[in-house]
Amino acid sequence: DQVWVADSRLGFVVQLDHDGTPLSQVGKDVLVRPTGLAIDQEKEELYVADTARSQIRVFDLHGQLLRSFGERGEADGQLNGPTFLAFRNDRLYVSDTLNARVQVFDSEGVWQGTIGKRGLYLGDFTRPKGVAVDQDENVYVVESFYDYLLIFNRQREFLLPVGGSGHQPGQFYLPSGVWVDHNQHVYVADMFNGRIEVFQRLMDIQ
C-alpha cells in the first residue's frame, strides 16, 4: 500500500502511503537525477535509474544504499542516460535511452543481454522510454520518438508494434511509460494526448 516517486528535480525518491502522505526519503545527497524505479519485492530492494550519472543505484526499502552499477559509455553493460526500469524474475530491464536500446542485468548488476538497436526501421529504437515485462517475459518498450509501443519476446526478438502517431484511440503522441498488470492489461502513458491508453493482450505472442 505504498507508492515510490522519483523527484528528478530535487534529487531523491519519496515514499508515500496510500493517502499520499510522505513517509520517508531515499537517496538524498546520493542521487543526482533519479528517474525510473523498480522494486524487487522478494529481496525488498529498490532500483533507481540515476540518469545524470548513467548509473543504477540499489537501496533497501529503509533507504540504505546497497550497491551501484553502470558507467557512462556505449559498450555492453555501460549506460547513457538510463530512464525507465522494470524488474521481473531476478532480471532488471533498463531503458538505456541515449544508447537507443534496452539492457538486461541480473539482480547484482551483471549484464545479461540487450534488446533492440538504434535504427530507422520499425522495431528499431531512437528514444526508448518506458519498459515493462509481462508474466511470460514478453518485453514492452515505448519508442517515444516515433509514437510506438514495441513488443519483444523472451528471446529478445521483435514481435510487433502497437500504435503510431495520432490522436485517435490506439494511437500515441509522445508516449512515455508502460505497465502490465497480472490480467495482461497493458497501460501506456500517452503523454501529449493527456491520457492513459489500456490494451488487452488477447493471444499468445511468444
Domain boundaries of the chain, sorted by first residue: 1-115, 127-206
- Tell me the CATH class for 1-115: mainly beta
CA distance 98 to 50: 13
Q: Is 1 exposed, middle or buried (0-12, 13-18, 19+ CB in 10 A)?
A: exposed
CA distance 37 to 58: 10
Task: Quote the pLDDT of residue 38.
Answer: 98
Helix, strand, or coil here: 97? helix
- What is the pTM assigned to this prediction? 0.95
Distances (CA, A) of 142 to 13, 152, 182: 23, 11, 19
CA distance 17 to 140: 28
Q: What angle do CA 45, 113, 183 make, to 5 degrees?
A: 60
Fold designation for 127-206: Thrombin, subunit H (2.40.10)
Helix, strand, or coil here: 151? strand
Per-residue pLDDT of the chain (206 residues; tens, 9 = 90+): 789 999 999 999 999 999 999 999 999 999 999 999 999 999 999 999 999 999 999 999 999 999 999 999 999 999 999 999 999 999 999 999 999 999 999 999 999 999 999 999 999 999 999 999 999 999 999 999 999 999 999 999 999 999 999 999 999 999 999 999 999 999 999 999 999 999 998 766 55
